[in-house]
A and B are shown apart, each in its own frame.
Chain A
Amino acid sequence: MSTTNLHLDPTGRRPGLFGVPTLPEGSPKLTKKDFTSTAEVRWCPGCGDYAILAAFQSFLPELGVPRDNIVCVSGIGCSSRLPYYLDTYGMHSIHGRATAIATGLATTRPDLSVWVVTGDGDALSIGGNHLIHAIRRNVNMTILLFNNRIYGLTKGQYSPTSEQGKITKSSPMGTVDLPFNPVSLALGAEATFVARTVDSDRALLTSILRQAAAHRGTALIEIYQNCPIFNNGAYELLKDRDESAARLLRLEHGKPVRSGSRGVVRDGDGGLRIVDLDELGPDAESRLVVHDAHAADPSLAFALSRLESPEMAGVPVGVFRSVSRPAYDDLVRDQIAVAVDAAGGPATRDDLAALLAGNDTWTVG
């Protein structure tokens, strides 16, 4: 098959946006305001969604594409209201199915920049099947997964990312479910791009949105998001200036993985562990694991994803994995192109008539 080098960029543009028109030369630069719809934003006061929306709206002008070529598809839940607030094309669909709808859309329309907004319940519970299959297919779309570890819109039941033992309305004695780690799950599903960030860290969120938009294929961004009503303070340790400096492991490709006075080393069992740099002695820096987001083998990315724990002693954020693999929608279109080429050009009316007739005909009269 003639799969051209889809991940290479002959024009200097972001591969994720191949096929999407650019703003006409000389047209005024878009601003955050251009991406703000007239709909009244109706999240609870203090919701982490506000910060994510603001960062997203501020980032989108950077893409340099007409806002009419951006589509935001969501499922059901608090986060899934976001498309209403974004002045682009958008669809607030049904619970869990946004990734499947976006798959159909992306495969049909290479000229669109497709975004999915979803939550931990929407993406990982009712929509878990669609999520893993979108990821393994590597459909060209960016998924923003708002993870607040609770069901907010239904008023406070535990979610598939709630920590075990959590007391909620539907778990008065504590949950018995083991939570998913969304990054581990995505890596297990053959993700080509996985990142994690925190709602309040605008700089990191923006940087990750930038990298995700450039990626061709499915980019999954897990965003730790605070629900002030039903799960307030879930990520407080990662937001406090001193605590976060000690706990957040900021992943940077080619750099040692460390946080303040601690760093990440390989343990004997193929995994990783966090140690005090003091324990490592004078050549501590050189013994730290160096992050490789582009490694063909996802083992390191997976091991990093396993560092996350309920105590949040060391939480990696940033891009875990970013590798190139042909995107599903491109491959589907490629097969059509190959078939059309092989047949000597697009099908004509006569070709259709010949198809209907088949090879075994007889004539009467």
Chain B
Amino acid sequence: MSSKTVERVDHVVIRFAGDSGDGMQLTGDRFTAQSAAQGNDLATLPNYPAEIRAPQGTIAGVSSFQVQFADHDVNTPGDAPDVLVAMNPAALAASVSDLPRGAIVIADSDEFTPRNLTKAGYTGDPLDDGSLDSYQVYAFPMTSLTVEALSSFALTKKEAVRAKNMFALGVVSWLYSTPTEPTESFIRTKFGRKPEIMNANLAALEAGWSYGETAEIFAVSYEVAPAATPAGTYRNITGNMATAYGLLAGAHRTGLPLVLGSYPITPASDILHHLSELKRFGVKTLQVEDEIAGITTAIGASYGGAMGVTTTSGPGLALKTEAMGLAVMLELPLVIVNVQRGGPSTGLPTKTEQADLLQALYGRNGEAPIPVLAARSPNDCFDAAVEAIRIATTYRTPVLLLTDGYLANGSEPWRIPDLDSLPDMPVEFASGPNAVDADGKPVFRPYLRDPETLARPWAIPGVPGLAHRIGGLEKADVTGMVSYDPDNHDRMIRLRQAKVERIPVPDLEVDDPTGTAETLVIGWGSTYGPISTGAQEARRDGVEVAHAHLRHLNPLPANAGDVLRRYRRVLVPEMNLGQLTVLLRSRYLVDAVGFNRVRGLPFTSTEIAEAITKFAQEGTL
């Protein structure tokens, strides 16, 4: 019935921000599902405080969720919000500097009380002191409108107020013409056993939509057309869920039961939560006493013939170090997932960073090579986890999978894979003697290697005739007996190294549209989105730049050196002080230059584009 105009836009960035008790993560997540359901491509960035309930109304307590949705392929949650939903003054204060001129600000005016303004550091009321004049501000009393809309329900005031996030979601859903059905069915499922709460939330959502439609405040509404995405069935997925499902699917393809040993740690705990829900798939999750027990129970499980996995974040990885060395020595399959966060020490537990690369590659005593791979996007966590299990089982080695806080909590549409499209990775346990001794008697040699993969037999307890002892002491080549022989040690060190180095990994692909770029920008892990988008932006400004992105950090792709040496200038953006730069420079003797930001936040594509442009033109940053 609305006579207002609907304007078509190609992409929108919305940030929902409020107090950590305001339900902003849920609101953002629901809006994401709605926009995904209408076929937009999207990427999200949740951002919340480490404290579960920071002091109410303060900037420290602001929780936000940013989503970019578009009619085309997007790889980042967007640099600057086109729309800020601010549920209180602190949410406004925390985000206002990120807003470009002309951005829309939707604020709950009920919350802009003198007390809340003071808590947020305001001396006046920004809603009417003119300080927001360069934005389109829509302030209305969301809390009281919600309470009023729910007046017929048997709810306490507090319960009614809690539904204001659904009111806000209704307003924004109307403003961007996104269908609310996915949220309605979500509310029906979530509150099915509490009909009053269920109906109140549905009513608040409906009231918000109607308010947008009928109140004479918004001059126009918008719509974003579906993106042209490859055919298939899609869902929205976070990196941590994709990791959990990838581990399960990988184990499924090997035919092995999955056993997780884990200790809760932000931002990795969701993987433990997701896998704990999968008991009917035979998944055993052991929440144990510490990080060391997490990895050692997983080693015990792998020794017993299961797919042992442990999940953690940086500080936990440090604690697992010695046991990772044991797994190298035992040559048993094991997957270690490190969801990187800001460090060192406790650092920034809820923020993202990629400063554990050198720890992953080298952080163990002795020569202890471990294959390392890194996921590039939330849904890539699935494929990377499958690949980690494939390498672990094929080569009988621990494998380190790096993701980070941005991937872990961020989400994007995921084309649900056909299980048959996943690699086949059958596992065979040793079943009998594999050699003969000097007298010609059949014997079992636990460290006799497959000539191609250099993997040793996976000989699990319970198999008759194969009883043998393994351990952390140096093993004699072939027999696996304890050996202090100098030549044997040198040989075993080189064999373990060669086993990892010989793992075939796909060649590094280069995105170089003109084929004549002289500047290469290369990254790894979660910077894929901002770097690829930043490179596109730079190209639009006439800068020729090639982009390559590493998934395998150990071993590196065989063609990596050739690729790097093809370019006059090499730029390496990283959320650390230059760890990949160090690796590339030392390994390939190229003059790679780092572009480094360690702010606990992903790069923006704009800052990447600016760095590329300057570097391509001037050769320095």
Contact = CB atoms under 8 A, between A and B. Distances in A.
A336 B282 CA distance: 6
Given A83-B469, A133-B289, A108 B326 contact: no
Interface stretch (A6-14, A289-297, A344-352): A344-352
B321 to A, nearest CB: 11
Contacts of A94: 296, 322-323, 325-326, 472
Interface string A348-365: 010111011111111111
Contacts of A37: 469
A10 to B, nearest CB: 23
Which among A37, A69, A107 has the greatest number of chain B C-beta atoms within 10 A? A107
Contacts of B540: none
A71 interface: yes
A333 B293 CA distance: 19
Given A112-B461, A343-B280, A103 B482 contact: no
Interface string B314-340: 000000001101100010000000000
Contacts of B471: 83-84, 90-93
A336 to B, nearest CB: 5
Nearest to B242: A356
A303 interface: no
A27 to B, nearest CB: 11
Interface centre among A109, A112, A349, A362 (most CB of B within 10 A): A362
A69 B278 CA distance: 29
Given A105-B304, A108-B304, A365 B230 contact: yes
A129 interface: yes
A355 B36 contact: no
Assign chain A's interface to a size class.
Answer: 35 or more
B261 A69 contact: no
Given A103-B300, A347-B281, A364-B231, A91 B288 contact: no
B290 A66 contact: no
A101 B282 contact: no
Contacts of B296: 93-94, 97, 100-101, 104, 130
A333 B279 CA distance: 9
B304 A112 contact: yes
Nearest to B229: A364
B211 to A, nearest CB: 26
The range of chain B's interface size is: 35 or more
A103 B297 contact: yes
A173 interface: no
Contacts of B231: 364-365
B233 to A, nearest CB: 5
B259 A108 contact: yes
A364 B280 contact: no
B257 interface: yes
Given A84-B469, A97-B323, A356-B245, A68 B463 contact: yes
A207 B367 CA distance: 46
A44 interface: no
B466 interface: yes
B304 A340 contact: no
A108 B229 contact: no
A163 B186 CA distance: 63
Interface string B196-240: 000000000000000000000000000000100111111111000
Interface in A67-83: 67-69, 71, 73, 76, 83
B419 A332 contact: no
A39 interface: yes
Interface string A97-139: 1001111111111011000000000000000011001000000
B33 interface: yes
A335 interface: yes
Interface string B466-496: 1111111100000001100000000000000
Contacts of A109: 304-305, 461-462
Contact of A108 (B257, B281, B322, B467): B257
Shortest 5 CB-CB contacts between residues of A and residues of B: A365-B231, A104-B300, A92-B471, A104-B297, A339-B279
Interface of B: 33, 36-37, 39, 182, 186, 189, 226, 229-237, 245, 248-249, 252, 257, 259, 261, 278-284, 286, 288-290, 292-293, 296-306, 308, 322-323, 325-326, 330, 416-417, 419, 461-473, 481-482
Given A133-B293, A361-B233, 5 more contacts: A104-B297, A104-B302, A109-B304, A351-B281, A352-B252
29 contacts: A84-B471, A88-B467, A92-B469, A92-B473, A94-B325, A100-B288, A101-B297, A104-B286, A104-B303, A104-B304, A108-B306, A109-B462, A112-B461, A112-B462, A129-B289, A129-B293, A130-B292, A130-B296, A336-B284, A346-B282, A352-B248, A352-B252, A352-B419, A356-B419, A358-B237, A359-B189, A360-B182, A361-B416, A362-B235
